[in-house]
Structure 1
Amino acid sequence: MIESEPVIENVRKALNDGMEMSVNISMETKISSGKQILSSDIGDEMVMMDINLGKYFSLKGPSGRVWELIDKETSVQSIFDILLEEYDVEAEQCQKELFALLHDMHDAEMIVAI
Structure 2
Amino acid sequence: MENSTYIFNEEKVLLTQLGDEGVAFDIESNEYYTLNETLFKIANGIKNQQSIPEIVDFLLNEYAISDAFCQEEIAKGIQQLIDKKIIFVQAHA
Same fold (TM over 0.5): yes
Aligned residues: 89
Q: For residues 101 and 63 of structure 1, do their structure 2 counterparts lie closer, same or farther at Cα, with a shift above 3 Å needed? A: same
Q: Which residue pairs with 1:17 in the alignment? A: none
User: Mind listing any 5+ residue stretches in structure 2 that lack a counterpart?
Assistant: none
TM-score (norm 1): 0.70
Higher relative contact order, chain-length normalized (CA < 8 Å, sep 6+): 1
Q: 1:102 aligns with which of 71, 78, 81?
A: 78
1:38 aligned to 2:27?
no
User: Mind listing any 5+ residue stretches in structure 1 that lack a counterpart?
Assistant: 1-25
TM-score (norm 2): 0.84
RMSD: 1.4
Q: Is the 8 A contact 2:6 2:87 kept in 1?
A: yes
Q: For residues 44 and 74 of structure 1, do their structure 2 counterparts lie closer, same or farther at Cα, with a shift above 3 Å needed? A: closer
Query: How far off its partner does 1:80 sit?
Result: 1.2
Deviations 1:55-105 (A, max 9, x none): 111112222211221113332222112111221111111111110110111
SS at match of 2:76: helix
CA distance in 2, matches of 1:111, 1:92: 23
CA distance in 1, matches of 2:16, 2:39: 14
Query: How far off its partner does 1:27 sit?
Result: 0.9
Using the aligned pairs only, state the percent identity: 25
Q: Is the 8 A contact 1:30 1:74 kept in 2?
A: no
Q: Is the 8 A contact 2:8 2:46 kept in 1?
A: yes
Q: Specify the code of the residue in structure 2 equivalent to 1:39.
A: L
CA distance in 1, matches of 2:50, 2:88: 11
Q: Specify the code of the residue in structure 2 equivalent to 1:72.
A: N
TM superposition outliers: structure 1 runs of 4+ over 6 Å: none
Q: Is the 8 A contact 2:45 2:55 kept in 1?
A: yes
